[in-house]
Chain A
Amino acid sequence: MVGLGGGVFMVPALALFLDVPIHQAIGASLLAVVATSATAAAAYLPNELANIRLGMTLETFTVVGALAGGLAGAILSRGVLSGIFGGVMVIVSVYLLVRPHDAGAPDEAGELGALGACYSDLSLGRTVRYRVRRLPVGLGASLAAGAVSGLLGVGGGFLKVPVMVLVMGVPVRAAVSTSSFMIGVTACVSALVYFFRGLVDPVTAVPVVLGVAAGAFLGSRLAQRVRSSVLTWVLAFVLFALAVQMILAAAGISVR
């Protein structure tokens, strides 16, 4: 409903409230991101909102980052991971409040280039055409998003979407849709490392995957009825509170 894969809520919820070891929480979260991505991409892809060529081009750098992040995450200590996660959560909570909206007019230049695309926007009642700009910056951000995803078990969409919209000139709806497709492939890279190293406990992962799949399905329907601005503020507040708790837990201070 708010364009996040859910991993950024999943890991602290499992680690802080259910006392699941953080590595297992990250493993379960990565699988949940794969399930969320499949649900969302299946909805977005037939509408041609997701730009697959752009997504796969960015994915070349994201998967390399995710592999490095996944390998590092599997060996880092619980305290270090919790601390990094808390810091990233603060950034995501701020992102939720200031995230980009469909404000700027897309670049409607005649030549779309190899990565540009067009789609029919029903809300605007016209076809939106856009050309992709500053690809190297997008590739760099994708590498960072992949590393964060692999390290912490999140999708990385909170990094990719703003860069695609604000830097690369992709309309926000196309950016969110493209990111939804990409995060599944990204999460899969690190999830394979966690899964085959035995860091995925079915007792945690199975209910999480089933719950997330049901939630993503319901969310796509509820999104049209719930005011997203109210929901976003609530989520940002909850996320910030969890972030503080996560950072304190990393420092060995329990406030539960």
Chain B
Amino acid sequence: MRKANLNRTIARTLVAGLCLAIVLLLVGIILDLAGRASSAGQAASIGDMTQALVALEPAGFYYLGLLVLLATPVSGVIALAVGFARRRSWIFCSISLFVLAVLALSAYLGLRG
């Protein structure tokens, strides 16, 4: 029963992240079709993204949508770590945290260039 609940929590997390990402990408496409072309081309950083979002430019929504998509499996792993910790399943909690650490390392290495 507890295992089924954890599985459902992860499934819900993944669906919520995917749906949010799709909505953001669709908003970007609608803005693109409405002729709100980005003055700065594509958003290349979080700073660019924020500016583009404030200006309602499609590039900001594309960047944020793809970022949310990338955050979806990360959220799933966080939910797993929490779920295993609440069940006092410390070995699998540690395994989830290790996977999370590698995800964080890859983001860091990507940002560092």
Contacts and interface: CB of A to CB of B under 8 A. Distances in A.
A196 interface: yes
Contacts of A203: 42
Contact of B72 (A38, A45, A181, A202): A38
Nearest to B105: A67
Contacts of B95: 56-57, 59-60
Contacts, number: 139
Q: Is the interface of A mostly helix, strand, loop or mixed?
A: helix
Nearest to A67: B106
Nearest to B71: A188
A159 interface: no
B16 to A, nearest CB: 10
Nearest to A71: B109
The number of chain A residues touching the other chain, given as a range, is 35 or more
Given A56-B95, A206-B65, A188 B28 contact: no
Interface in B1-39: 3-4, 6-8, 10-12, 14-15, 17-18, 21-22, 25-26, 28-29
Given A70-B106, A195-B66, A210-B26, 9 more contacts: A34-B72, A45-B10, A45-B11, A57-B92, A59-B95, A67-B109, A181-B10, A192-B110, A202-B28
Interface of A: 31, 34-35, 37-39, 41-42, 45-46, 48, 50, 52-53, 56-57, 59-60, 63-64, 66-67, 70-71, 114, 181, 184-185, 187-198, 200-203, 205-206, 209-210, 213
